[in-house]
Amino acid sequence: MPGRHRRRSVLAAMAAAPLAGALGACSQGADDAPSGSSRTGAKKPVRVTFWSALRGSQEVVDAFNRTHDRIQVDFQQIPSGGQGGYAKLSSAARAGNAPDVATIEYPQVPGFAIDGVARDITGLVDDRLRAALLPQAFGLTTFQGRVFSVPLDVEPMVMHYRADLFDRYGLQVPRTWDEFADLARVVRRAAPDRRLVLFPTDGATQFAAYSWQAGAQWFDTRDGAWNVSLADAPTRRVAAYWQDLIDRDDIFMNAVESRQSDAQIGNGLVLTRLSGAWDAGAQMNARPGQKGRWRIAPLPQWDTAGPAVGTHGGSTFAVTKDSR
């Protein structure tokens, strides 16, 4: 996902419990102790190898190593998944020398589970660890009752908005998608060169999150097989909603990973960004000159029974097949 390897200003705080659980799982049982450890209660610590593309991981590992003497972590920073990190992990697994633990983003967990790279760790996930984490997150790493990775973080979709421009045009933060559509029309009329939001032509992950919020379910594993459908009623509703905004020219439509998008955001032409919560940190790093101008509000809601939100980002700790 765009920019995700650049986030993690709160990585250390969020990682403590799951990292300890994942690393503890790698060190279960004296008979399976990795090389370098002692089977006789000697003083050598168990060495655990850990690969991640997430910024802040080295600091987490350093803190872990300072506070643990029975387990020590050997960390290697790798490229983000799309930049070769996942290919590196797959190649290492084929060669039989994958790390003990690796961070894998939620969308990639099923693939690594199917390929046998991510080990089934159901028996190593105790009640204490499970109780410390969101059941919704565990649902994203559990297939047919088997757990293949430990959630690290979840990145809910939120609405980032330019508070200064909202004040200038007398706008109210929309609470529903109907209010959001009405506001898009107001913005175009009040400031013809500006738009309320950008619909990304390269934003399949955002569209998936919108559909998820509306109640869509694109995949399941009924009857022991993968079932895929991207044409259910919630998905069609979301598609029609955004198509209407595009047809009325009430929003921008172009690639979010482009110079055009950078210019639109940098020049204040886009009043909101709909993305994962991680995007706040990425934007602060990318555009320090806009400090203090952005705020965060909940994502607009559909007329559902209660508040709902999809996620746009998040990573997990997986124990690989090569971990002893």
Residues 70-81: pLDDT tens digits?
A: 999 999 999 988
> What are the phi and psi torsion angles at 195 (to 5°)?
-140, 155
pLDDT at 115: 94
How many angstroms separate the CA atoms of 283 and 275, rounded? 11
From the list 321, 317, 313, the residue with the least C-alpha distance to 5 is 313
How many angstroms separate the CA atoms of 151 and 238, rounded? 28
Q: Is 82 helix (H, G, I), strand (E, B) or coil?
A: helix
Give the torsion sign (CA, 233, 237, 238, 243).
positive
Whole-structure pTM value: 0.74
DSSP 22-64: HHHHHT--GGGPPTTS-SSS-SPPEEEEEEE--TTHHHHHHHH
Q: Are 194 and 206 in contact (CB under 8 A)?
A: no
How many angstroms separate the CA atoms of 107 and 61, rounded? 25
pLDDT at 269: 97
CATH number for the domain whose boundaries are 4-154+314-319: 3.40.190.10
> What are the phi and psi torsion angles at 221 (to 5°)?
-125, 45
Residues in the chain: 324
**Topology adopted by domain 157-298:** D-Maltodextrin-Binding Protein; domain 2 (3.40.190)
Sequence spans of domains, the chain: 4-154+314-319, 157-298
pLDDT at 83: 86
Q: Are 4-154+314-319 and 157-298 the same fold in CATH? A: yes
How many angstroms separate the CA atoms of 185 and 173, rounded? 14
How many angstroms separate the CA atoms of 40 and 219, rounded? 48
Give the torsion sign (CA, 83, 88, 91, 93).
negative
Question: Which residues are CB-contacts of 107 (< 8 A; sequence separation ≥ 6)?
Answer: 205
DSSP 161-205: EEHHHHHHTT----SBHHHHHHHHHHHHHH-TT-BS-EEETT-HH
From the list 264, 301, 302, the residue with the least C-alpha distance to 283 is 264
Residues 145-202: pLDDT tens digits?
A: 999 999 998 899 999 999 999 999 999 999 999 999 999 999 999 999 999 999 999 9
How would you write the pLDDT of the chain (324 residues) with one tens digit per residue?
434 333 333 233 334 445 444 554 454 443 444 444 444 456 799 999 999 999 889 999 999 999 999 999 999 999 988 889 999 999 999 999 999 999 999 989 999 999 999 999 999 999 999 999 989 899 999 988 999 999 998 899 999 999 999 999 999 999 999 999 999 999 999 999 999 999 999 988 899 999 999 999 998 777 878 788 899 999 999 999 999 999 999 999 999 889 999 999 999 999 999 999 988 888 888 899 999 999 999 999 997 677 899 989 899 999 999 999
pLDDT at 16: 42
